[in-house]
Chain A
Amino acid sequence: MNMHALKTENATAAPLPAGEVVRLPTPKPSFITSKVIPNAKNIAANVIPPILMIGLILVVWQILCSKPGATLPSPSKIRTEAYDLIVDPFFIAGPQDIGLGWRVLTSLQRVAIGYGFAAVVGILLGTLVGQSVWAMRGLDPIFQILRTISPLAWLPISLAAFRDSQPSAIFVIFITAVWPIIIITAVGIRNIPQDYRNVAAVLRLNPAEFFIKVMIPSAAPYIFTGLRIGIGLSWLAIVAAEMLTGGVGIGFFI
């Protein structure tokens, strides 16, 4: 009995080292678990909720609009009817019939031109208003009134002046984006510490050097805030302007 028991003990003890050898490659899966899986979990945590929400919204939309007599099309109907528009955004089928991608690009180009003008004019005028008390007293009330005018209200005026949709749309972008740039740049220029002005005076920096070496860097945080607000507004304005002027562009398409 004893011998037998010992034998079985030996027999059970013998596979143990073998078991340890088998366990050796465990570090390899632990690398995957320590690096890849947490990463994947992280990505999934960020990606899955929006996908789920979008899916949910599509389902609700589908249910709401698939009743007979629904005024708006359901997602499945959009997919069948607008399939060619969605999959190929860069087709050109004629001067007025181009893909969605091209339309967005055209609109972006208008925004770039109008906003570029607005940035240059806005920073220069803002500097003038911030620097000179006379310019501020003279121009600030005018700016404060003009900036309350809706961007679309400028459209008839600019259409009358330019007699073309392209420059009118650019003008509307310009006039929308320029006010915040002017006003915030002026605040930035007014907030340049007197110390920097004294340094510039002692060095006898001329106005151009003062503008480039002191004003712009010193007011830069303000200027960029103005520019950021301006670009947001100009994108809002272009869609509305193109809906009214027609021609090519994302707003016209809508």
Chain B
Amino acid sequence: MPAYPYLKIDHVDKSFKRGSAETEVLKDITLGIEKGEYVSIIGHSGCGKSTLLNLVAGLLPVSSGAILLENKEVNDPGPDRAVVFQNHSLLPWLTVYANVKIAVDKVFSGTKTKIQRHDWIMHNLDLVQMAHAKDKRPSEISGGMKQRVGLARALAMEPKVLLLDEPFGALDALTRAHLQDSVMAIHTKLGNTVLMITHDVDEAVLLSDRIVMMTNGPAARIGEILDVPLQRPRKRLALAGDTTYLKCRQRVLDFLYERHHFVEAA
């Protein structure tokens, strides 16, 4: 076990400047994530959780502090930190297959042959149960399917850390449950390191090993980190009455609605 965590967010501050006005969004965020861990970040809207994910993804620069992956600083985006965006972000003029292909071709152009790359694309589409729709365009498939393809594209990059930015936020409850089960199954099978942004308490408790709760912005901090000591694989129905599950859920709800209830208008 190395002395440093796999992914380390080290005293990170982030502020946005517009002219002379400076808004501090994140203040002194320090978080370590171990390999294979599933960590959720939960907080009210506007608390800067998406900003934090963008910092880890490298899409935004940190104002101070550093983000280290395997003890190496990262400050630009790259396929080792693949993102599943909230609104899927598939390229609408490409088919499902081509959307995954663009990622696979870019990441594995030197290491895999054409046939291996094809197999790898199909393998990842199979993983999210989307192989049947490989020749469809994003406009021809449902929202849940688009999100699955987005997930396949991210998984196909073989990222060191998988970043999920409210991946199920735009979906209806039933589709969301389906996708959560798929993500759980994939996480169990592949052992990815996952950092997920969410505002859904049940989702956070069900999927995560640890839940990071953020205080309200501006200058949001990490308020509390909760371990979820539930055995994997987890079953949605069995957990519904589980005391540990309910206790964890209660802790998160307490944090969000008692101690740091949302004061500003959204």
Contacts and interface: CB of A to CB of B under 8 A. Distances in A.
Contact of A217 (B57, B78, B79, B93): B93
A51 interface: no
Given A204-B106, A205-B106, A199 B89 contact: yes
A199 B85 CA distance: 9
Interface string B84-108: 0101010101000000001100110
B83 A203 contact: no
A111 B58 CA distance: 47
B89 A198 contact: yes
Contacts of B57: 198, 202
B91 A202 contact: no
B89 A214 contact: no
Interface string A213-233: 110011010000000000000
Contacts of A202: 57, 59, 77-79, 81-83, 157
> Interface majority SS on A: helix, strand, loop or mixed?
helix
Given A196-B89, A199-B91, A202-B77, A213 B82 contact: no
B119 to A, nearest CB: 20
Contact of B87 (A195, A201, A203, A204): A195
> Interface majority SS on B: helix, strand, loop or mixed?
loop
A66 B60 CA distance: 79
A18 B58 CA distance: 93
Contacts, number: 47
Interface residues of A, number: 15
Contacts of B93: 217-218, 220
A107 B91 CA distance: 41
A198 B85 contact: yes
Contacts of A203: 79, 102-103, 106-107, 157
A196 B91 contact: yes
Interface in B176-198: none
Interface of A: 195-196, 198-199, 201-205, 209, 213-214, 217-218, 220
7 contacts: A195-B87, A199-B85, A202-B59, A202-B77, A204-B106, A214-B91, A217-B93
